[in-house]
Amino acid sequence: MALKKIGEYLLFFFFSAGWSIPLCGQAVDTLPAPRETSDSARFVPQRAVPEAVSIDGMTPREAIALLEAQEEDTLSPREAKKLARLQKREEKRHAKELKKQEKLRREVQEYFTHVVIDTSRAEVVPPAEPDPLLDSLSIPNTAEYHKDDSTMIGEALMLKKPPAPKPKSAAHAAFLSAIVPGLGQIYGGSQWWMAPAFWGGMTGTLLAVSFYNGYYNDFRKEYKNRILTGEVHEYEYYDDATLVSQMQYAEQQRDLWILGTVGVYLLNILHANVSVQLSEFRTQRKHRKMLELQEMFERQDASSTLTFSPAMVYPNQGVNRYPAPGLQLAIHF
């Protein structure tokens, strides 16, 4: 009986093991592909994500610096603002340098001129027949350009001759502005754009004078009519005391605007005089600078120097009249 039970157990064991192997293989083959888990699901140490910081009240530059700081995870909001200020300061410095270079370039264009010293002349020589000794790649019956002299060709920047400044009289500018406001500024040239400003100022003050003078005359006429005839023509909502008060107020405002007109007129004369004086000072300073540059160049030219430099040689004789590299000897005196 016991042996029978043992046999049944063994048969059941082998029967189960025989069928479990293909079933396990089939289960392995038909398993779905593992899903890709997100970074947060994987137990892999990641860099800590910086906390969100509000950018309300920040300038765009500060906000960009703050976002960059969050990506790098190295700067605090305060340091980001400081970095933005430093970047802004650096941009201003760079813009100032560019402005200075542009000013220097304009001064060079103003003080110097580009000259080419060439004592030789070029002429066109059309060959009568193709020369068989020339290169076979040359095109026959084409014009050849060559120089008939081997004199040196120089190309450089030469200092312009300092122009004689045309003096302008400050007294004459003041006289012109006294006759016609703004005319002295136009005569000076440097502050011509101030002429429309003075025209507008005087026009505004004169309009204000006319406005308050009209009110003063109306109140005065009504007050006289009330005293002489006892009738009320206008301003019936004003009693006599209020009418006198309004008349005095209009008179004060009219007088103030008259003083303003006189002040703008005198300021126009003074500005014309001072602007011409400053313009003459700048012109004389520029002239002195050009004279100093010319003197410096003359001192440099006074010392003779001998220089060697590579150059292209243009032979004038022979069959092969094509440029070739050579050496140039130059004496500066």
Residue in the structure block whose two tokens are 């313009």: 279
Question: Which pLDDT band holds residue 45 (cuts at 50, 70, 90)?
Answer: very low
According to the model, what pLDDT value does residue 21 have? 42
Same domain, 185 and 291: yes
Report in angstroms the alpha-carbon separations of 232 from 223, 241, 243, 246, 247. 9, 14, 12, 16, 16
Q: Is residue 158 part of a domain?
A: no
Residue 286 tokens read as 């520029």
Give yes or no: residues 88 and 187 share one domain: no
Specify if 268 maps to a domain.
yes
Enumerate the β-bridge partners of residue 214.
none
- Is 225 contained in some domain? yes
In a domain, 328, yes or no: no
Residue-wise pLDDT tens digits, 232-271: 777 778 888 888 888 999 999 999 999 999 999 999 999 9
pLDDT of 51-93, one tens digit each? 445 555 666 667 666 666 665 556 677 877 888 888 888 888 8
Q: Based on the fold, state whether residues 101 and 175 are members of the same structural domain.
A: no
Identify whether the C-beta of residue 205 lies closer than 8 Å to the C-beta of residue 259: no
Is residue 143 one of the residues assigned to a domain? no
How many domains does one find in the chain?
Answer: 2
Over the chain, what is the mean pLDDT? 70
Domain, as residue range, for 177: 170-302
State whether the Cα torsion 172-177-180-183 is positive or negative: positive
Q: Are residues 297 and 178 in the same domain?
A: yes
Residue 140: DSSP 8-state: T
Between CA 272 and CA 181 the distance in angstroms is 9
Do the Cβ atoms of 275 and 209 come closer than 8 Å?
Answer: no
Angle of helix 240-302 versus helix 170-179 axis, rounded to 10: 150
Count CB atoms within 10 A of the CB of residue 39. 7
Per residue in 107-143, pLDDT tens?
Answer: 656 655 544 444 444 444 444 454 444 444 444 444 4
Instruction: Tell me how far apart the alpha carbons of residues 203 and 219 are, in angstroms, rounded to a whole number.
Output: 25
Residues 40 and 46: their CA atoms lie apart, in Å, by 9
Q: Looking at the structure, tell me whether residues 104 and 176 fall in a common domain.
A: no
| Per-residue pLDDT at 125 | 42
pLDDT band at residue 274 using 50, 70 and 90 as cut-offs: very high
Q: Model confidence over 276-302: pLDDT tens digits?
A: 999 888 888 887 887 777 777 666 555
Grade residue 41 by pLDDT with cuts at 50, 70 and 90.
Answer: very low
- Write down which residue in 108, 125, 148 finishes a domain: 108
- Residue 204's Cβ-count burial label (10 Å; 0-12, 13-18, 19+) is middle
Mean pLDDT of the region 201-213: 94
Query: Is 294 within the bounds of a domain?
Result: yes
pLDDT digits (tens, 9 = 90+) for 17-26: 554 444 444 4
